Amino acid sequence: MKKIECVIFDWAGTTVDYGCMAPVAAFVESFDAIGVPVTAADTRRYMGLTKVEEIRALFRIDRVAETFRQKYGRDFNEDDVQARYADFQRILCATLDRYAKPIPGVVETVETLRARGIKIGSTTGYTTAMMDIVQPAAAAQGYKADSCVTSDHLPAGRPAPYMLYQNMINLAIPSVDCVVKVGDTMADIAEGLNSKVWTVGVILGSNELALSEEEVSALPAAELQARMAEVRRRMTEAGAHYVIDRMAELPRVIDGINLRLKQG
């Protein structure tokens, strides 16, 4: 009988870095440096892609492209993309270790899953060099994945399925039916669906909710619930099989999936 054998998590905004703050700040700073501002909301629209692809997407925003044209008298090109990407990496790598704290409930949930014999994989929009900073910093605070795959040496990152499939190879998982993908962005959900695995969106701590832990605590309950409901709607419309408020709900979701698998 098939059952869930592996959960593949995203990193920033899902397991670490509550609110997915590190890349937002680095994108904003790198574009400010050339006098072509992007907003935090701009960056969050494309979060979950590889970072160079997100920079290309940011340059293609009509307002951003026009600002660049007015300032430099020409359209942006790939050299501009690569220059912003280099600056983004410099800024991000200088701060990443500060954003590796596990999101509440993650460490305990992973312990619960491992006790059930479930393997822990991960995919990310970060590069290997970035993850070489994040992984040890997160491990020192209690969270470690059994497999971490970046897109560096694969045909593409999200929303393509290659990183997820490489996790399955690394962890010897025989069927997509036995895999759950958990993430906090639309790109995560697309990755899961394109991989044909069970796909779960998580709201609190997510890029989509776009709030720090302190901001969540300070919001009136009714406003927080309204914002969470809007994220749930977007994730559901994007095709997520399940959407959970917080990571502690994941074992119960897996129980439900296993029951569905048992029933065929």
CB atoms within 10 A of CB 162: 19
Active site residue 101: no
* Residues 227, 229: Cα–Cα separation, whole Å: 5
Measured CA distances, 168 to 87, 117, 174 (Å) = 33, 15, 7
Q: Which of 10, 42, 184, 188 is catalytic?
A: 10
Taking CA atoms, 36 is separated from 29, 39, 85, 93, 207, in Å, by: 10, 10, 14, 22, 23
| Single-letter code of the amino acid located at 39 | T
Place of tokens 């009714």: 222
What's the CA gap between 124 and 118, in Å, rounded?
A: 20
Catalytic residue among 17, 32, 42, 51: 51
- Is 10 annotated in the active site? yes
The answer to whether 150 and 124 are in contact (CB under 8 A) is yes
Dihedral pair phi/psi, residue 102, rounded to 5°: -60, 140
Tell me how far the alpha carbon of residue 170 is from its chain's centroid.
Answer: 20
Query: In a 3-state reduction of DSSP, which class is residue 140?
Result: coil
Partners of residue 242 on adjacent β-strands: 200
Question: Measured between alpha carbons, how far is 171 from 164 in angstroms, rounded to an integer?
Answer: 11
Active-site residues, by number, are: 10, 51
